[in-house]
């Protein structure tokens, strides 16, 4: 039976009922100990081994006794709608619950209309297939196509739920490096401006009083000046408090510091052609990612080095 369970289910979540929880329901114990959502419980209780107490199938409303062992087993899934492709991946970390990748610029995270192949998801699904793992692709967050850097992928619905809740509670550390025109004034600060779609161009985001709350913290790392001395630039570190679409790009443009190489939100005039050419894309990189591991409860943090094109841009700015 064990082999069958391992083939059909992921490793179980386990909760041992304490003395203080004697007489409580299965649902109450799981919510208190593991933060299991009601949505997940409603899914697992439908399968034979999805929810058990002392390895006997149980209901969420069943009372439990001190010392009882509750197990939650999620069925193994695969992304049937994503075509596996042998795409080179920069894997930073992987265990049974998480996959952390360093995404290159020019790659979309998930297939969309018109882009069914060549995405990060296609490569990850192939990677798992080669390892013999049945896992569904669940990105916890995404990066724009032209933004490079760290992306977290959950390997189970529970891990995805836990990490999503951490993000909503500001439990995620997400630091970005950007190269911008001009130099922020003050050199360190916060942009707290709502963002929404531009009514005239729905694919573009703008700062508008009717928008959704959006907060970006920034810190100037270094400043540069063009050869003729008529154009400034800066390397900026950014921390997101919210995660709106194009948030960094919109907020930096709003304070007069659009990203170098940004075709959508770049400067309307005055762009330095040499800087644009070296960057080759918007100069934004998700550099540091950190959060509490949902299973081990340990803080984990990763860093992705600047890709070659941004290293070359910094060198060009310095010169």
Q: Which residues participate in catalysis according to the annotation? A: 144
Segment among 72-81, 151-160, 309-318 with least mean pLDDT: 72-81
Percent of the chain with pLDDT over 70: 98
Residue 7: its pLDDT value, please? 80
Q: Are the beta carbons of 257 and 182 closer than 8 angstroms?
A: yes
Residue 14: its pLDDT value, please? 96
The CATH number of domain 173-318 is 3.40.50.1220: no
Residue 98 has pLDDT above 60, yes or no: yes
Model confidence band, residue 5 (pLDDT cutoffs 50, 70, 90): confident
- What are 99-121's pLDDT values in tens digits? 999 999 999 999 988 889 999 99
Domain range summary for the chain, segments of one domain joined by +: 2-72, 91-168, 173-318
Comparing C-alpha atoms, which of 43, 21, 45 is closest to residue 33? 21
The answer to whether 2-72 and 91-168 have equal CATH topology is no
- Classify domain 91-168 at the CATH superfamily level: Pseudouridine synthase (3.30.2350.10)
Residue 1 has pLDDT above 60, yes or no: no
Residue 150: its pLDDT value, please? 98
Residue 41 has pLDDT above 60, yes or no: yes
Q: Are strands 188-192 and 215-225 parallel, antiparallel or unpaired?
A: antiparallel
Beta-strand (E) ranges in the chain? Answer: 13-16, 51-53, 56-57, 69-72, 91-94, 98-103, 138-139, 148-154, 173-181, 188-192, 195-198, 201-207, 215-225, 232-240, 284-292, 299-303
For 2-72, CATH number out of 2.40.10.330, 3.90.1150.10, 3.40.630.10, 3.10.290.10 equals 3.10.290.10
Residue 299: its pLDDT value, please? 97
Q: Are the beta carbons of 184 and 251 closer than 8 angstroms?
A: no
């Amino acid at each position: 039976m064990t082999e069958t369970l391992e083939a059909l289910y992921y490793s179980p979540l386990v909760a041992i009922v304490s003395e203080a929880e004697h007489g409580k329901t299965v649902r109450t114990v799981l919510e208190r100990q593991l933060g299991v959502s009601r949505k997940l419980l409603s899914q697992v209780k439908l399968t034979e081994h999805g929810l058990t107490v002392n390895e006997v199938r149980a209901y969420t409303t069943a009372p439990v006794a001190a010392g009882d062992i509750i197990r939650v087993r999620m069925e193994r899934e695969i992304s049937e709608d994503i075509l596996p492709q042998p795409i080179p991946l920069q894997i930073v970390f992987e265990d049974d619950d998480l996959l952390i990748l360093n995404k290159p610029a020019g790659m979309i995270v998930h297939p969309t209309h018109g882009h069914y192949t060549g995405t990060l998801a296609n490569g990850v699904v192939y990677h798992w297939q080669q390892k013999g793992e049945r896992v569904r692709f669940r990105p916890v967050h995404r990066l724009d196509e032209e933004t490079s850097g760290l992306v977290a992928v959950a390997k189970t619905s529970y891990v995805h739920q836990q990490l999503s809740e951490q993000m909503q509670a500001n439990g995620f550390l997400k630091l970005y490096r950007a190269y911008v025109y001009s130099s922020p004034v003050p050199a360190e600060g916060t942009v707290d401006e709502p963002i929404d779609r531009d009514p005239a161009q729905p694919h573009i985001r703008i700062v508008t009083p009717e928008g959704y709350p959006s907060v970006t913290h920034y810190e100037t790392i270094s400043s540069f000046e063009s050869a003729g001395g008529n154009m400034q630039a800066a390397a900026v570190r950014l921390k997101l408090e919210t995660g709106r679409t194009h948030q960094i790009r919109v907020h930096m443009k709003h304070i007069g510091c659009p990203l170098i190489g940004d075709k959508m939100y770049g400067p309307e005039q005055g762009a330095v052609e040499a800087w644009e050419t070296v960057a080759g894309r918007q100069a934004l990189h998700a550099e540091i990612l950190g959060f509490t591991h949902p299973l081990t409860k340990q803080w984990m943090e990763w860093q992705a080095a600047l890709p070659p094109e941004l290293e070359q841009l910094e060198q060009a700015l310095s010169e």
